[in-house]
Amino acid sequence: MVFVVRFLEKTKKRFFRLCAGIPGEWRTILTVILGNLLSAFAVAYFTLPYRFPDMGVAGIAFLSHYAFGISPIWIIAIGNALLLVWGAKNLSLRFIGLTVCSIIVFSVSLPAFLRLPLPLPQDRFMATVISGVLKGFAGAMIFNTGGSGGGMDIVAAVMRRRYGLEVGKFSIIVNCLILALSLGVVGLGAVVYGVVGLYIFGVTLDNVMHSFDRRKQAFIITDLPDDVSRFILSRGRGVTLVEGRGGYTGQPRSVLISLLDTRQVMQLKAFLKEKDPQAFVSICDATEVLGQGFKSWMSL
């Protein structure tokens, strides 16, 4: 499981390096499209063939498909349209636009994937693990843009803005109800696999979401502030210079503050070891970074 998440995180980094030259909102739309393609792929090959339950509006749609043979696309499209109309007053135009993009891409790509034959794993547990990992990674890609995949994400966004309700708690309650309804349709065994898939989805989503925003914050006290600043800037990162004063010596000291990734931190340490071994450095985790060069304020 850890190996798969790390592999997907590396894939995510390669994807964002490839997209670095694409203008901001176009890159956002491309991310939403790819995230929904990945989610539809997971549903088509690792959820529906095994009659596993799912989350939110999609979960209700799949139950209607299992019980009555109704195409899940109709339930997903109609359910999302009604939810968007209901929550429109509380949602930003950008959020609505990205969510509509998600709904369209998912609704079009799911039947397309269902028509393509693909060898499926015989092990149901393997299928639910793959499904949870792929959906979690896709969800993280979409949520990081400031949009959503539709369904109960719309309700969660409205409830958070109206009442400050925690999205995680709301999702747990809703999904538990859907799983309870699934029991009479797909049976206890499939529900157990569904619970496992939801857990893996949540773990993957949290880990990948955190990896989008996680950085290392470096505080550097050095006698060579100009040299260190130039080194950090040459690595494509910004640096802030603060003039301080030693509490013991009373002497003026320069303090540099910068936000780096793990590889850049190692390069900085090697540079200081060679150029200024008397420097004082403190490295700590920054769990979320907003602003130019990092996560956009538009994504909130």
**Average pLDDT per block of 10 residues along the chain, 300 residues long:** 54 52 69 92 91 85 85 86 85 85 90 87 89 88 81 78 64 77 85 86 76 74 86 83 77 83 82 85 71 53
pLDDT of residue 46: 92
Residue 109: partners with Cβ closer than 8 Å, 6 or more residues away: 36, 37, 40, 41
Q: Which amino acid is at 217?
A: Q
Within this chain, do residues 72 and 204 fall inside the same structural domain, yes or no?
A: yes
3-state secondary structure at position 140: helix
Distance (Å, whole) CA 96 – CA 102:
10
d(CA 165, CA 263): 37
CATH number, domain with residue 227: 3.30.70.120
The range of the structural domain enclosing residue 131 comes to: 2-212
- Number of Cβ within 10 Å of residue 95's Cβ equals 21
Q: Which of 177, 212, 247 is the last residue of a domain?
A: 212
Q: Spell 199-208 as b/e; 16+ CB within 10 A means b.
A: ebbbbbbebb
The domain boundary residue, chosen from 183, 212, 241: 212
Chosen domain end from 212, 231, 261: 212
Identity of residue 110: L
**Distance between CA 133 and CA 139 in Å, rounded?**
10
Judgement on whether residues 176 and 120 belong to the same structural domain of the protein: yes
